[in-house]
Amino acid sequence: MTTANTALTFGLIARRDRQLQIANRIYREVLPRELTSIVQDSLQGKAEQPWFVNPADGRMDMDKLLDSFQQFFRENSQSWLERYAYKEAGPQLLLQAFLQRVVNGGGRIAREYGLGLGRTDLFLQWPLSEQGYLGPLQQVVLELKIQHKGKAATIAQGLAQTARYCDQCGADSAHLLIFDRDPAVDWNEKIYRELHSQAGRSIVVWGM
């Protein structure tokens, strides 16, 4: 029995509109946490929440956070991804482990999966006052994509998806992360940061 069939049998994922989806919101939260628990533990001292919070306004510094993840991914992805049997999802799980380590106890991450579509949508909410989630929130969309069709085509598709998700969520800012898994491509070419515009919205594209 394949992994997908096993997950279907136990009700972890379901088929809706001919697509595989994680069955419910509880599993969307529990499954990635369980799959990345070892990574989160290993990040002790490497991804600490205070490093990425701006003391002036209490906002999460997303540029600083994602720049730090880029370097972490460059240094550690090869050893970590070899441990995953599901290597296609490996880069996305590493990012979720990194984010969970940072926001744990302070913010929350909502996850939407495009299973079979090579993408994952993350929606980070960070409270900006003592009122918690009843007060003002910093809201950030992160779209994750595995590069299959070349850089330009992947970015173009990802920008459209990210802009739609931003409109749906009412996000303050948006980031598109492109994972290039081609071992023949040099890391200096894989790593980049670009500012793009889509549907009147600024989106930061991170390559790795």
Q: Would you state the torsion angle of the CA atoms of residues 127, 93, 22, 10, taken in this order, to the nearest 10 degrees? A: -130
Calculate helix-pair angle for 90-103, 62-81, nearest 10 degrees: 130
- Collapsing DSSP to helix, strand or coil, 176 comes out as strand
> Does 47 score more than 60 pLDDT?
no
Q: How far apart are the first and last CA of the chain?
A: 34
177/84 Cα distance (integer angstroms): 20
Please name the residue ranges forming H helices in 104-179: 151-169
Neighbours of 107 (CB within 10 A): 21
Q: Which pLDDT score, from 0 to 100, does residue 88 have?
A: 58
Q: Which pLDDT score, from 0 to 100, does residue 11 have?
A: 54
Neighbours of 22 (CB within 10 A): 20
The phi-psi region of residue 57 (left if phi > 0; otherwise alpha if psi is between -120 and 50; otherwise beta) is alpha
Section 184-191 average pLDDT = 95
Q: List, in sequence order, every residue forming a beta bridge with 113; answer none if it has no partner.
A: 120
pTM of the shown model = 0.76
Residue of higher predicted confidence among 181 and 30: 181
198/127 Cα distance (integer angstroms): 27
Q: Which pLDDT score, from 0 to 100, does residue 90 have?
A: 76
Q: Select from 48, 103, 98 the least CA-distant residue to 77.
A: 98
Which pLDDT tens digit goes with each residue over 79-128?
Answer: 766 665 555 567 888 888 888 888 877 899 887 755 444 467 899 999 99
Q: Select from 157, 159, 150, 136 the least CA-distant residue to 205.
A: 159
